[in-house]
Every structure is written in C-alpha cells, then in structure tokens.
Structure 1
Amino acid sequence: MKILEACYEINFSKINFIERKQKIEKSKTIISGPPKTGKSYLIYDYLSNHKSKDYLYLDFSDLRNNIEEIYVDLQKFIKMNEITILVLENFEFQFEIPTCETIIISTSYPYKIRGFENIILNALDFEEYLLHDNKHQNITQSFNSFLKFGNLPELINIDEHKKIQRLQEILKLSSLDETYYEILKSLIENIDEKKSLFQIFNSLKLKIKISKDKFYEICKKVENNKIIYFIAKYNQEKSLKKVYTYNHSFFNAISHSKKFKNEFSNMIFLELQNRYDEIYYLDNIDFYIKSKNMAVIAIPFFNSFLTANLVKKIIKISHEFDINEINIITISNSEKINDSKIKINVIPFYEWALS
C-alpha cells in the first residue's frame, strides 16, 4: 500500500486558482478535454475546499504510480481511511471504478457512465483569459497576446521568448507517436481551409509513409478528443469540411508561413463553439448559427469601400437563408451597415467576445 499511502499525503489546500466558467458541482463527474486546458486545476480547486484526510488523489500519468498495485488495495484503502472523495487523474478506465461517495475522473476523451456528469473543458475563452492575465496593462495588449500565443492557461505566465517553444512541446507531448504528430501538424496547417481528409492524406503521404486506415483512425481520435474540429457546410454533409483546432496559435508554432485570417477565424470559431452546439458554414459566410438565424464573418481589417462587393454577397446569401443578424468581426474596426431586413454589426473581436 506504499503508493496509496504516499498519494494520500498530497495536500491541495494552498492551490492558487483563478475561477473558470465551468466547475465541478456533482459528486460523480468525468472531466475530459484537450491537453493543457486546465482539467487538473479544476480538480485541485475542488479538493482545496475539502480536508486532505477526506480525499485520495491518484494521477495515472505519474510514473511512480503502478496501476496493478493501486487496484489491488484501492477499495480496502478507501474503506480503512474513511475516504469520501476519490480522484482518478489521467485515468483510461484500466480497471473497474471502486465504490466511493464522490468520484472525480479526468481523461483525454469523453466517456459516458450512468450516474456521472460529463464536463468537457476547453481552453480559455477571451473573457476567462482576461481574468487570468495580470501581465498586461490594458485590453489591447491582452488581445494581442491572446491572438499571437493562444488560449492555454499556462502560456500566460511564460516568458514571451519561450512561448512558441512551449506550444511545440505541448503538441509533441500530446502526440502518441511520430505518425500521430505528423497527422496533427498536417491538420493544423489546414485550419480555416475547406479540405477533405482524402486531400490532406494525399499531401501527407508524400512526406511520410502512412496507411489510409491509420490516417483516418487518428483523425477520428483527435476529433473525439476535441483537439480538431470539422465543420460542415449547412445542409450539405458531403461537401468539403472546414478544419479548426482547439488553440488557434498552434499554426504559428508549427510554421513560419503567415495565415493571419485563418488564425483569426479559428479564434472566432472557438468563441462560438463555447456558446453554440451546431455551427456550419455557407458560401461567403464563415459561420452560420442556424438556431439563432445568425451569421458570423471574420474580416480582420474591414474597410467598407474595399469590402463592398463582399458585403453585398454576404447580404444576398443571408436573405436566402432567412438570416436576421450578421456580425462581421474585425481587429479594431467598428461600424453599422444599414439593411432593411438584417441587423449588421461590424465589431472588434474583444467587444464581440465580451458581449
């Protein structure tokens, strides 16, 4: 029982935690989500409100923790020490869950068990990012950092010259092997592009040796783990899908190429997917929220004179789909466009994200 005794001594009473929009509220909870989004700190915060003698924290990514040895004595140890809260961190359901009053599990993918609430924890949205960011003096500086280095909590307090390196490390650490890493990179390289998986596969196989089955298997895995998102065109399931990733700054970490509009669109998508269950795209419309009859378009540097033709196309397609609100998201421009049937807002990202 040495491992269990050592883990039982872990104390989280002095954890410094900044509030997230999601929190553990049910006694049986499974937390999943992409790497480095803050799953562990959500658990630390929960445990910090309880006496250390009441909980047992087991992290299965800790090399010192032998799964077989833990499982043999776990139920007995819980009963012997009258433990009321059991935490299984980085648990892949290698053994049957023991009996305990409160059980909190963190895992890499959504796993449904009757009686357990599921929390999918994404990276910080912009509002949460501002609460975490105490380095910058104003919202403009915070926005610039958010845009350039992304939405992962730990990146905020790392020295700027080390941030790209850390993003690269996170991608490598979250990859199961070299093939997984190359597939993940190839998907990130295509953010905000309309691409079929077959097109991406054909490009990748020119670089590495890979089977189609392996490629599709890993694509399904990164989609299930909320690392990559594939967005369909509305009412056209067989059309090309648009690709997005859970941290818009990953592209900046893997390439010297500049795809500013793509990264900006990915950033907007992440705000939307925190708010809405179903997001589509249309011709000339980046994001279509059917449930709200709303369109969201990314035009970083909006100029009413230069984009007049594009706006006409956007309004035309909006009339066809009975869209009654268009939000054009920019870096800093703000404007009103008059239309007899549609409310059209041109609004900076930081205003829109906080609205």
Structure 2
Amino acid sequence: MEILLEELYKIDLTASHYVERKLQLDHQSYQINGVAQSGKTELVKAYLLTCKKSSYLYIDLDDVRIDIDELNEKLQAFCTANKIDILVLDNYTPQIKIINVSQLIICSRRHYELDFLITKTLYPLDLEEFLAFESRYDSTAISHYLQIGGFAAMHRVSTDNRAKYIQERFRYALSSLEFDILQTATRFVGQKLSAFNVYEKLKLKRKVSKDMLYKSFETMVSDNYLHQLAKLNHPKATKKIYLCDIIFKHTITIQKNFARIFENMVFLEMFKNGVECFYDEGVDFYLPNKSEIILCMPFAEERMLFKKLESIESFIFSNQIQNITCVTMSKEGSISHPISKVEMIPFLEWALSD
C-alpha cells in the first residue's frame, strides 16, 4: 500500500476541461455530495491545482488497487511522514477511518453525518453555469442545453455516443434496481408518481420486493437523482416527479415529450436556486413566497395563454396571485388581467433574471 500511496502522491493531477462553478472551495474541510457526473471530482482537482503540489494527496476510493484495511493502517503515517496538509477522499465510504490532517475533503453521492465537515451539494450545471461553456448566449445555446443537459462531461461526448455514455456511467453508479427506478421515472416526468406506482410497474418486468423498492426509491430522492414536488396544502397527496437532469429523457428512454422536458428544465432552475414551490391542479408551479404562478408553455401565444388562465381562474382569485409568469422558448409579451400581472418570458431571460 505504501508503494501505491507514493504513486498517488507523485502523480500530476489535471483539470484541463474545468469551467468555474458557482460552488467554490477554500481552506476549510468539506463534505461534497452530488449525483454521479455532477462535477465533484473536477471541482476538487481544480482546487488542488491552486495549492502547493507537495501539500496534498488525492485518493479515488473506487481504485480497484486499494485495499481498505491496508489503507486504514497506513494512511495516517504516510500523511504525517510526507507533511500532507490536504487529503481528498473521492468516492468516500464510511469504512475509511478519518485521520488527522489540516484539511479533509470527501466526495460522495450520499450524505454522511460528519459534523466536523462543511457539507456542500453540487448539482449538475444550471443554465448560467452551462452558458460558461458556450460561445453564444442565444437560442442556439438553449437548443444545445436541451440536447445535452447539465452534465459538464457531455460537452466532450460526440452526438452518436451520448446515449451509450450516460447509460454506461449510470449503470455503474447505480444499482440495477435504482437504474430501473430512474428509467421508470423518466417516462413520467412532470406527472404524479409514487413509490407504489413504480413498484406496480417494475414488478411486471423483474422480481422485486416492495420494501426494497420503497427503500431504493427513497434513496434516489435523498441522493437527488429524483426530485419530488408536493401539492399545495396536501402533503399526503402523490407528488410530481422530476429528474436531476433532462439528459435522461433523451438517453435512457425512447419516449419523447418536449413539453415535459421543458417543464423539468424550468423546475431545475428553481430547485437549484432554493425557490419554494408547489403544484396544484392546472398550475405547474405556485411560489407562495412571491405570490406567483409559473406556467410552462414553450410555444405559447396569447390565445393559448388566455385559455389557460380561464382554466385556473378560481386558483388565481382564491390565492390572490399577483404575478403569473408564462415561461416560453422565445415568445415574450404581456396580457391584461383583473388582479395579476401576466407576462410571457423566454426561458433564457427568465432563468438569468434575479
């Protein structure tokens, strides 16, 4: 193990494709959580490359050469002997003993109760971060975002290999049951979907216990692969389901529904910015703290919007909605309404606004 540690210590790290993220690291100790391909490794390597090379040791615990028991036995002595100040444990597992170093950074898809670490969650790129990869801030950038989603690595994957790349990476990152849950959820984006619904569908194609399915479904939600949206004032009602990234809709199912992809894209922008929202019948997103409704209508025009407002008129009046925002692909404008300010705003403008 000493030979392997010496090799890892001397190796030159690279982060040649790294584009700066909103999440930044400093000298403190961190636990960085995030789904596979969210950019945890690139974030950490980019930080390490700003530090003195002899001061850090980066270990990827998915390395098959690593024996956990031997690593636990040798790691503290190695770090002490080489005066290592910064230790990074990528793909962390609780089997690893925490040792004494000035700065510890662990990366994992799952959150662990380690109170001495500052916990940060890294999500796939939001639109603003995505645009840092793009040369133009216009409809072509949005079209590209719709094609490849928020996983930064997809910028380096050719069009013909995208589906294979995603399938291979997430079949490795997830258990077989978790991958099947993800694939099932992909077919129901923006719709009501419970763990029981998923169980009813999966039991027709594979052997699975209800308890195991429920546990795996909860894990997928807690690990942020799936997001749930509650119904307003009905916490026990079936929640709507959204994906952590829209790329899954293109790559692990043949079902196409642009309106659902667009709705998922709008949801992710609000989720990543910590916006509290709910759904209601006919209402895509209700933001109580802003007294606002968000409607996802990529190809809306005034007549369609008028008709939509008529269908949710009782909700608008009973909740005294002040603002109604219709997020579109490119259409913009406003229409009159008795109590609400109603605007159609292109997604690019809406996502980059304060």
Tell me the TM-score normalized by structure 1: 0.94
Q: CA deviation at 1:174?
A: 2.0
Partners of 2:26 and 2:339 in 1: CA distance: 43
Partners of 2:85 and 2:16 in 1: CA distance: 20
Q: CA deviation at 1:14?
A: 6.4
Partners of 2:342 and 2:278 in 1: CA distance: 19
- Who is 1:140 aligned against? 139
Contact 1:12 1:52 in 2 (8 A): no
Partners of 1:8 and 1:319 in 2: CA distance: 64
- SS at the partner of 2:132? helix
- Who is 2:160 aligned against? 161
Contact 2:72 2:96 in 1 (8 A): yes
Corresponding residue to 2:329 among 321, 331, 342: 331
Deviations 1:207-263 (A, max 9, x none): 211111111011011111100011110110111110011011202212222211111
Which residue identity is paired with 1:162?
Answer: N
Q: 1:199 to 1:221 in 2, by over 3 A?
A: same
Contact 2:177 2:216 in 1 (8 A): no
Higher mean alpha-carbon deviation, 271-280 vs 345-354, is at 271-280
Contact 1:3 1:70 in 2 (8 A): no
- Who is 2:9 aligned against? 8
Which residue identity is paired with 1:167?
Answer: I
Contact 1:149 1:164 in 2 (8 A): no
Deviations 1:276-303 (A, max 9, x none): 2532112211112222222211111102
Where in structure 2 are the equivalents of 1:69-218 lying within 5 Å?
69-134=70-135, 139-176=138-175, 178-218=176-216
Deviations 1:12-62 (A, max 9, x none): 366442110111135110000111010001101110110110001111011
Corresponding residue to 2:282 among 279, 284, 288: 284
- SS at the partner of 1:8? helix
Q: CA deviation at 1:315?
A: 4.6
- Is residue 18 of structure 1 aligned with residue 19 of structure 2? yes
Q: 1:145 to 1:277 in 2, by over 3 A?
A: same
- Who is 2:309 aligned against? 311
- SS at the partner of 2:302? coil
Q: CA deviation at 1:114?
A: 1.7
Partners of 1:295 and 1:26 in 2: CA distance: 41
Q: CA deviation at 1:127?
A: 1.0
- Who is 1:61 aligned against? 62
Q: 1:298 to 1:325 in 2, by over 3 A?
A: same
Partners of 2:201 and 2:53 in 1: CA distance: 53
Partners of 2:133 and 2:139 in 1: CA distance: 15
- SS at the partner of 1:106? strand
Where in structure 2 are the equivalents of 1:250-289 lying within 5 Å?
250-289=248-287
Contact 2:56 2:85 in 1 (8 A): yes
Which residue identity is paired with 2:22?
Answer: K
Contact 2:15 2:45 in 1 (8 A): no
Which residue identity is paired with 1:117?
Answer: I
Count of residues in correspondence between the two structures = 352
Where in structure 2 are the equivalents of 1:214-253 lying within 5 Å?
214-253=212-251
Q: CA deviation at 1:125?
A: 0.6
Which residue identity is paired with 2:153?
Answer: E
Contact 1:26 1:117 in 2 (8 A): no
Which residue identity is paired with 2:204?
Answer: L
Partners of 1:316 and 1:335 in 2: CA distance: 24
Partners of 1:216 and 1:113 in 2: CA distance: 26
Partners of 1:150 and 1:15 in 2: CA distance: 21
Q: 1:334 to 1:85 in 2, by over 3 A?
A: same
Partners of 2:15 and 2:23 in 1: CA distance: 21
Gaps of 5+ in 1: none
Q: CA deviation at 1:180?
A: 2.6
Which residue identity is paired with 1:101?
Answer: S
Q: CA deviation at 1:316?
A: 3.5
Partners of 1:315 and 1:166 in 2: CA distance: 45
Higher mean alpha-carbon deviation, 267-276 vs 16-25, is at 16-25
What's the C-alpha RMSD, in Å, of the aligned pairs? Answer: 1.7
Q: 1:16 to 1:145 in 2, by over 3 A?
A: closer
Contact 1:201 1:215 in 2 (8 A): yes
Q: CA deviation at 1:121?
A: 0.3
Tell me the TM-score normalized by structure 2: 0.94
Which residue identity is paired with 2:109?
Answer: S
Partners of 2:303 and 2:15 in 1: CA distance: 56
Q: CA deviation at 1:9?
A: 0.9
Q: CA deviation at 1:265?
A: 0.5
Gaps of 5+ in 2: none
Contact 1:112 1:118 in 2 (8 A): no
Contact 2:186 2:253 in 1 (8 A): no
Contact 1:86 1:102 in 2 (8 A): yes
